[in-house]
Structure 1
Amino acid sequence: MAHLLSRRDLDFLLYEWLDITSLTDRDRFSAHSRDTFDGVLDLSSEMAGKLFAPHNKAGDQSPPRLGDDGRVELIDDVKTALDAYAAADLIAAAFPESLGGLDLPTTISRASMAWFQAANPGTSSYALLTTANANLLAAHGSPEQIDTWVRPMLRGDFSGTMCLSEPQAGSSLADITTKALPVGDGTYRISGTKMWISGGEHELTDNIVHLVLAKTPGGGPGVKGISLFIVPKLLPDGTRNDVALVGLNHKMGNRGTSNTLLNFGDGTHPVTGGTGAVGYLVGEEHRGLTYMFHMMNEARIGVGFLATAIGYAGYLASVDYAKVRTQGRPVAGRDPAAGPVPIIEHADVKRMLLAQKSYVQGALALGLYCSRLVDIEATSDGDERARTHLLLEVLTPIAKAWPSQWCLEANSLAIQVHGGYGYTTEFDVEQCYRDNRLNPIHEGTNGIQGLDLLGRKVVMADGAGLALLIETITATIEATPAGGAPAEFAAALRIAITDLAATTAALWADGNPAVALTNSSVYLQAAGHIVIAWMWLEQLIAVGDSAGAFYDGKRAAARYFFRFELPSTRPQLALLASLDQTTAQTDPAWFTS
């Protein structure tokens, strides 16, 4: 790929808009400066381009496979890249110094990872999962567990996974059947099957630390009975644990990451006697889902970044192509004798490029904004901490779902810009689309994110979450200078958030979830568009009167989003407010033909 991300855009978002260097005023980040932040971003850009991007196609064309000895085989470049990533301390960068980290702000760490995600979604996912796994255990594990499992992961010696889904349960965690039985020595025996486990088996690291949800005795039905366990591939003494690879899943995209079906306790293990895999309880029994949400929420924002990064790479590829591909002549004053013009001169191609730009740069702004909230929450207390946490809670389902829907659309438009060539494997954009198509599904489908947003987040604490979001957006509206396009867009955004509040109230007026949640995916789309419009208004305020092509491009993308995209929320909100039950009242028998 010629380009992965725009460093100029990152610098604008981090320094001109978010003023990320102000985080260095906080004790935790006081050892840093813009110089250290730039150093991390420079290193990330260089490593992503030299070590990750070159084997992106190779990893797609030669995905993980089972060797004759039952081991998972990957192309050699994957391990080379990940070893270099770990050696550069990028896994540990955002962790405390006490764990060998650099106390780097999450915002910079996420920006760093975006380079690798844009360069190679498959390879970067191993590192992303390991970081999220280590974060959970650093927050909820015992000191012994941190020493035994977290420190090796931060060095890159071990890798990590999250094991939630099961073949029969899918996303319905209340229906998992994996069991954990205490054996009296402080350990448990885990038995069951887990599906769709990314990074679940490979030879990239010395060990794999699985975080497994399982039910212990006495926990009751549903999610209340779920506990969380560390179930390593190898036990501390080097013995193979009773974790067996049943098979590899073969995906249409993101093929470089091994995706597995794992069996815990197959009945033949020489150490456990077939009673199950050895597991170590994290925290307290029956609080497993609470702990796992620490990793899940981090992973959801990570999925949003992954979708954004893939969308961004496809956007830049289509811009490069549109500049050099010549075809057709201007609509006005056609001269058959004149040569064809670059397709970037055509209005419809500009539309497709502007749409992509508005999606990927709006999504990147949202991801970085949420990351900054993580940094503020981690270094605050009292009311500031509580308000930051609440705002992050409300934004998380949007930060996962909106990029995974609309940056996928950006990839679709990138293919369209390429014309027939975009549909071929010789160009990068077709792989971008296939890689990105996973993101609306994993870490909670977008439908689940809609249920979470409308069913939980905007109504929590008597609507405090939605009230805080509207209050925060309103503060941006009030800060918009009078006159000109920004004022016009601020007025449109004010109408949109007023409609959102009224629609939310109408949906929950009768307190009937069956009615309110019928069209929660539509609610998610509308709320997401409103939030991205807010991100664009924020960027416009930061642009101010600055001159130059970069800033003019920001103005054009903002204008596109407010005039082409935000108006779509009005009919969506009107549909929601009508309490339409078309989908809920559809009889499954009507799908017979």
Structure 2
Amino acid sequence: MTQTLLNDRDISFQLYEVLDTEALLRRPRYLEHSRETFDATLETARKVAERYFADHNQKGDAQEPTFDGERVHLIPETQAAWDAFAEGGFLAAHHDFEDGGMQLPEVVLRSCMAYFNAANVATTGYPFLSIGAANLIKSFASDALKARFLPPMLAGHFSGTMALTEPGQGSALADIKTAAEPDGEGRYRLRGHKMFISGGDHELTENIVHLVLAKLPDAPPGAKGISLFIVPKILVNEDGSLGERNDVALAGLLHKMGFRNTTSTVLNFGENGGAIGYLVGEPHRGLQYMFQMMNEARIGVALTAACLGYQGYRYSLDYAQQRPQGRLPSSKDPASPQVPIVAHADVRRMLLAQKAYVEGALSLCLYASSLYEDQHSAEDEATRRRAGELLDLLTPIVKSWPSRYCLQANDLAIQVLGGSGYIREYPVEQYYRDNRLNPIHEGTEGIHGLDLLGRKVMRDPAAYRLFREEVKATLGDASRHPATQDFIGPLGDALQRLDAVTESLRGQVAADPDRGLANATLYLDLFGRLVVAWIWLRQGLKAAQGLDRDDLAEADRDFYRGKLQATRYYLDWELPQINPQAELLLQGNRTCFDMHDAWF
């Protein structure tokens, strides 16, 4: 097999043709950068990922972490990978120069993370969470807490986690039981239990900084009563030196079907007097703060799903091009040579579906990262505000669509390999198991459907209008190029269908929220199909414009033709599936809602 992590040509296409990342170089924050520095950073990420992450992807799956009652044991390659990631500067890459960072744009950092995810999602989980935890501390903690915890986190001496879920409460964070009480010394004592905490215990770093949601004694009920605390595994003195072990205990490791080399833990806080914690920001605003890390993680989970799907696609493509089997239906001579299975139409169908899913998902994730970048570094307030509103609206789709459809891509990769697909001697079965976690990580489809329809669309119709304007603008651009004019009608009609469904659901939810939101997951899927059709039209248009150049190498022509064909596939095969979905939603179909518990 000649398969590599990702298609470098596609990364370049997304960054410099679809997103015009070079335009960022005109912003004051990035004046010292160039396309060459961006490319050099991406090349470094690829090399580190290939050398230190890809080498133990299957080993980490087969030899998952163990706990002997005192310490967690990981395969030694995990430590080497963490050290290489930290030494490469990726933990601090997007931070300011004066803080030891590279001032790297968010979209370039996430492109670097794509290589690490493609190489080994489980080991990448440790730095992924640590980057998010450091970002949250930087945004909301006091200067004193930043000074104590940020430098060692950015240098790779400390790692970070997010500790939200409890044994009795999954996504219903308003009902968490973990309690925090002031200790009279400006600190707090936490008591409670958290579970499914990824990276919750290990010895990769000198310390682990847990970001913990808990409730103060005077907390109002519900989500408005949640506060956020920094709770280190080992206490940190004011001078930065390490103190004694905090009252945080590992109760045990959980054993997952995928992501096995990322420890999944049950943590007990305060079994011996209370775990010492430090309040982040103001009391009772913890969930609001944590949403920064949660939304960042949602885009990160989507990128993980895209990269796992991408790996399966590239492996199954390489296999199909090399594996001879059978003959075309038109061949009647049993003595004739067998053809590679890619010659069979149904195999091409499965490969084209994978291409549409994974390259669409990657483009969607990088687009979301570009919105995050614009929200924070665009030079005018209107652009920053517009990017923030679009990102807020689209985040449920960005998280959910790749998690669902790149898992389907992994399923198709197994099918392409046939019997070889489901044995562990080939990697595609692991890609599927790893990816199966992502439709649950950072919120299920059901939760994001409720968020999209019940919160984003119902409460902020202006953001929906902004999205429509973006789609209309792309349709206008595509109408002026002969190679993309055929795509205008299908996407334009689909947008009208979405408008009608959205308007109908607004009325349904206003009249009866329980029934009106009962089919929110279906709406999420319909909306997501249209968003990705638009993402594909953006790619198709850039490919068509690329083909207009006279100086193209044949490999570039094939690349662009492949993008146009995948655009056509998505608009012909995937987008029309919104029509029966729209009918169910317009009817306010009650079949699932009216099912009684006793009837199951």
> TM-score surpassing 0.5?
yes
2:342 to 327, 344, 362: 344
Give the match for residue 313 of structure 2.
Answer: 315
Equivalent AA in structure 2 for residue 549 of structure 1: D
Contact 1:52 1:120 in 2 (8 A): yes
- Counterpart-to-counterpart distance in 2, 1:113 and 1:333: 46
1:251 to 246, 251, 256: 256
Equivalent AA in structure 2 for residue 132 of structure 1: G
Give the match for residue 394 of structure 2.
Answer: 395
Give the match for residue 454 of structure 2.
Answer: 455
Q: Shift of residue 279 of structure 1?
A: 0.6
Q: Shift of residue 535 of structure 1?
A: 0.5
Q: Deviations over 1:385-425 (max 9, x none)?
A: 11110000011111110000000000000000000000000
Give the match for residue 436 of structure 2.
Answer: 437
2:503 to 499, 505, 526: 505
1:189 matched to 2:194: no
- Counterpart-to-counterpart distance in 2, 1:210 and 1:223: 20
Q: Shift of residue 546 of structure 1?
A: 3.4
Contact 1:201 1:258 in 2 (8 A): yes
- Counterpart-to-counterpart distance in 2, 1:507 and 1:458: 10
Q: Shift of residue 482 of structure 1?
A: 4.0
Map 1:214-233 → 2, pairs under 5 A: 214-233=214-233
- Counterpart-to-counterpart distance in 1, 2:74 and 2:224: 39
Give the match for residue 5 of structure 2.
Answer: 4
- Counterpart-to-counterpart distance in 2, 1:151 and 1:458: 40
* TM-aligned CA distance change 1:545 to 1:284, over 3 Å: closer
Equivalent AA in structure 2 for residue 121 of structure 1: V
- Counterpart-to-counterpart distance in 2, 1:487 and 1:425: 45
Map 1:274-285 → 2, pairs under 5 A: 274=273, 276-285=274-283
Q: Shift of residue 445 of structure 1?
A: 1.3
Give the match for residue 59 of structure 1.
Answer: 60
Contact 1:486 1:540 in 2 (8 A): yes
Q: Deviations over 1:276-320 (max 9, x none)?
A: 100100000000000000000000000000000100011000011
Residue range with higher mean Cα deviation, 481-490 or 46-55: 481-490
Give the match for residue 552 of structure 2.
Answer: none
Q: Shift of residue 98 of structure 1?
A: 2.7
Equivalent AA in structure 2 for residue 573 of structure 1: A
Q: Shift of residue 217 of structure 1?
A: 2.0
- Counterpart-to-counterpart distance in 2, 1:483 and 1:242: 64
Contact 2:161 2:197 in 1 (8 A): yes
Give the match for residue 271 of structure 1.
Answer: none
- Counterpart-to-counterpart distance in 1, 2:562 and 2:464: 32
1:559 matched to 2:568: yes
1:575 matched to 2:574: no
Q: Deviations over 1:13-68 (max 9, x none)?
A: 1111211010011111111111011001111111111110010000000011012x
- Counterpart-to-counterpart distance in 2, 1:490 and 1:379: 33
Give the match for residue 369 of structure 1.
Answer: 367
- Counterpart-to-counterpart distance in 2, 1:332 and 1:483: 37
- Counterpart-to-counterpart distance in 1, 2:7 and 2:245: 45
SS at match of 2:277: strand
Q: Deviations over 1:336-368 (max 9, x none)?
A: 110111000000000000000000000111111
- Counterpart-to-counterpart distance in 2, 1:112 and 1:546: 24
Q: Shift of residue 382 of structure 1?
A: 2.2
* TM-aligned CA distance change 1:483 to 1:370, over 3 Å: closer
Give the match for residue 524 of structure 1.
Answer: 524
SS at match of 2:478: coil
Contact 1:493 1:534 in 2 (8 A): yes
Give the TM-score, by structure 1 length: 0.97
Q: Shift of residue 545 of structure 1?
A: 4.4
Percent identity between the aligned chains? 51
- Counterpart-to-counterpart distance in 2, 1:162 and 1:586: 37
Contact 1:41 1:112 in 2 (8 A): yes
Give the match for residue 101 of structure 2.
Answer: 101
Equivalent AA in structure 2 for residue 222 of structure 1: G
- Counterpart-to-counterpart distance in 1, 2:148 and 2:545: 54
SS at match of 1:180: strand
- Counterpart-to-counterpart distance in 2, 1:295 and 1:483: 41
Aligned residues: 582
Contact 2:479 2:488 in 1 (8 A): no
SS at match of 1:544: helix
1:37 matched to 2:38: yes
- Counterpart-to-counterpart distance in 2, 1:314 and 1:153: 33
Map 1:127-276 → 2, pairs under 5 A: 127-237=127-237, 238-266=243-271, 268=272, 274=273, 276=274
Equivalent AA in structure 2 for residue 495 of structure 1: D
Give the match for residue 550 of structure 1.
Answer: 559
Residue range with higher mean Cα deviation, 53-62 or 451-460: 451-460
Contact 2:210 2:233 in 1 (8 A): yes
Contact 1:459 1:466 in 2 (8 A): no
Give the match for residue 324 of structure 1.
Answer: 322
Contact 2:190 2:277 in 1 (8 A): yes
- Counterpart-to-counterpart distance in 2, 1:482 and 1:149: 53
SS at match of 1:332: coil
Q: Shift of residue 484 of structure 1?
A: 4.5
Q: Deviations over 1:53-107 (max 9, x none)?
A: 010000000011012x510100000010110110010110011123211110000
Q: Shift of residue 186 of structure 1?
A: 1.1
Q: Shift of residue 479 of structure 1?
A: 1.2
Q: Shift of residue 488 of structure 1?
A: 2.0
Give the TM-score, by structure 2 length: 0.96
Q: Shift of residue 552 of structure 1?
A: 0.8
Residue range with higher mean Cα deviation, 562-571 or 1-10: 1-10
Give the match for residue 122 of structure 1.
Answer: 122
Q: Deviations over 1:416-453 (max 9, x none)?
A: 00000000000010000000000000111121111111
- Counterpart-to-counterpart distance in 2, 1:349 and 1:560: 14
Contact 2:483 2:544 in 1 (8 A): no
Give the match for residue 80 of structure 2.
Answer: 80
Q: Deviations over 1:507-533 (max 9, x none)?
A: 121403212211111111111110000
Equivalent AA in structure 2 for residue 440 of structure 1: P
Structure 1 runs not aligned, ≥5 long = 269-273
* TM-aligned CA distance change 1:478 to 1:545, over 3 Å: closer
- Counterpart-to-counterpart distance in 2, 1:292 and 1:395: 19
SS at match of 1:60: helix
SS at match of 2:360: helix
Structure 2 runs not aligned, ≥5 long = 238-242, 548-556
Contact 1:507 1:515 in 2 (8 A): no
- Counterpart-to-counterpart distance in 2, 1:578 and 1:308: 33
Contact 1:138 1:146 in 2 (8 A): yes
SS at match of 1:480: helix
Q: Shift of residue 253 of structure 1?
A: 0.6
SS at match of 1:586: coil
Contact 1:65 1:73 in 2 (8 A): yes
Give the match for residue 113 of structure 1.
Answer: 113
SS at match of 1:508: helix
1:405 matched to 2:404: yes
- Counterpart-to-counterpart distance in 2, 1:551 and 1:545: 9
- Counterpart-to-counterpart distance in 2, 1:513 and 1:112: 42
Q: Deviations over 1:443-496 (max 9, x none)?
A: 1112111111111112223x1121111111111111113464522212211111
SS at match of 2:213: strand
